[in-house]
A and B are shown apart, each in its own frame.
Chain A
Amino acid sequence: MNATVDPAPPLRKTALNATHRALKAKMVDFGGWDMPVEYSGLIAEHMAVRTSAGLFDVSHMGEIQLRGPGSLAAVQHLCMNDASKLAVSQAQYSAMLTPDGAFVDDVLVHKLSDNDYLIVINAGTREKDVAWVRSQIGRMPGVHISDYSDCYTQLAIQGPKAEATLSRITGTDLSAIRNYWFTWGRLDLKDGSALHNVLIARTGYTGEDGFEIYIPSDESTSERVWNEVLNAGADFGILPCGLGARNTLRLESAMALYGHEISDSINVFEAGLGRYARLYKASDFVGRAALAAIQAAGGPKRKLVGLEMIERGIGRDGYPVCTLAGQRIGAITSGSPAPFLKKNIALAYVPVQYAALNEVVAVEIRGQLVKAKVVATPFYKRARKST
């Protein structure tokens, strides 16, 4: 043997890897993780979430906990949203920014108690995020940083029947958990055992009602809970769902994906996420000055827009966006057929002068210019309960 090339590092696995394989999921390398992309079929899984319920293993997501009397100050310095507005048991969408006002990552901040915050981060940026957090707040007084990314199996139960499904395995009153709030509940498993202190959050990444739960990451617990959720939702037609459906669901809902709509070379205003950046909160944060300067200079030069193909063709990630005359003006960040809407949709960056609703542009698809128009986002918005 004279191998001189370093072998690629082995793919990382969640505690449910064997479960996915037993379900005959199609597996893919997702940011270094061996993850299920689909089980029974992407469209069926997507539709299950829109009309009933779906179950996702999202354990590749990471969790960083900040504890101590300085934890709020640390969160406020790290993240652009205003965590001082959070009540205990409330979560908020936020982001960690570079000094340029671009994205280190988008995150969910959960306020566990006055001196205790849990920040949920993306899989592909885990190590970078942890290093970033340590570098930015590691020397701040009164805050202890713990990386609990490998300690949790995170399951997402999503869809109009998510509450009815999950309520069958918990005595916790799920109806009392409002959107972007959470509680510590107990799961009652069929073998009579119970799982205590499970973080149950009414959050998700599908544009549907639903929950994300955080359970211990040992394989047997993970598999037991996974199976119990599937059993609980069986008569609703719950389906295990892969990253394929997760992507089309979040795209229909126009939610950003790191590395696509947001990155360390895209700023908050370009991404249309300015409403989550609290420039005038009481404490300074990394990236604030840059955002203020961009705002003072009249805002961003390019914007993320929704596109709907109006001619036959599917715009996909990376495809150029052009004027009708063929001049390149931008690129698609995420594009796909939308299984529920039954349209071909995309998110793309274009100069602001092309960002108005109904503007007609062209997507270059393998050398051909195919017309698309700028439409409002989200492409899909669920009907709110009238009660």
Chain B
Amino acid sequence: MAYPAGYRYTKEHEWISVAGASGTVGITDYAQSSLGDIVFVDLPKVGDRLEAGKIFGSVESVKAVSDLFSPVSGTVTAINEELKDKPEWINADANSTWMLKLDLANPAELDALLTDAQYEAFIAEETER
């Protein structure tokens, strides 16, 4: 499994890719693989304010529900509406299937997130347990 080097990661298995003051958020390949066939994604609305570490939505596979945690604080600027009908895209390519975009309120929050190497080490620990 590959975790793009430019992304930052949460311990709850979200990724964020940042360009300027705008962030794009999705879930990791490990997350989609653990969940299995994804059938439902519940996302916030454009304009909603998210807080770092707080729940912003949920993703459901046939067998499980998983909360989504915002990597950073910010205001939602776009939602991937296609996921309403095609949630399985996340299984097919988690790294490039985005859920939402947001304007970062405090870019310094990114420093608290994991790098790809740190995330991979974290996953290795998780799966060994």
Contacts and interface: CB of A to CB of B under 8 A. Distances in A.
B63 interface: yes
5 contacts: A244-B36, A314-B39, A316-B65, A336-B63, A337-B62
> Which size class do A's interface residues fall under?
10 to 19
Contacts of A41: 36-37
Interface of B: 36-37, 39-40, 58, 60-63, 65
A38 interface: yes
Nearest to B91: A41
Interface string A30-74: 000000011001110010000000000000000000000000000
Task: Give chain B's interface secondary structure class.
Answer: strand
B29 to A, nearest CB: 15
Contact of A366 (B36, B40, B58): B58
A244 B36 CA distance: 10
A336 B60 CA distance: 10
A194 to B, nearest CB: 38
Interface in A302-336: 313-314, 316, 336
The CB with the most chain A CB atoms within 10 A, among B36, B40, B63, is that of B63
A43 B62 contact: yes
Contact of A248 (B40, B60, B62, B65): B62
A42 B36 contact: yes
Contacts of A26: 36
A314 B37 CA distance: 14
A245 B100 CA distance: 31
Nearest to B39: A337
Contact of A244 (B40, B60, B62): B62
A216 interface: no
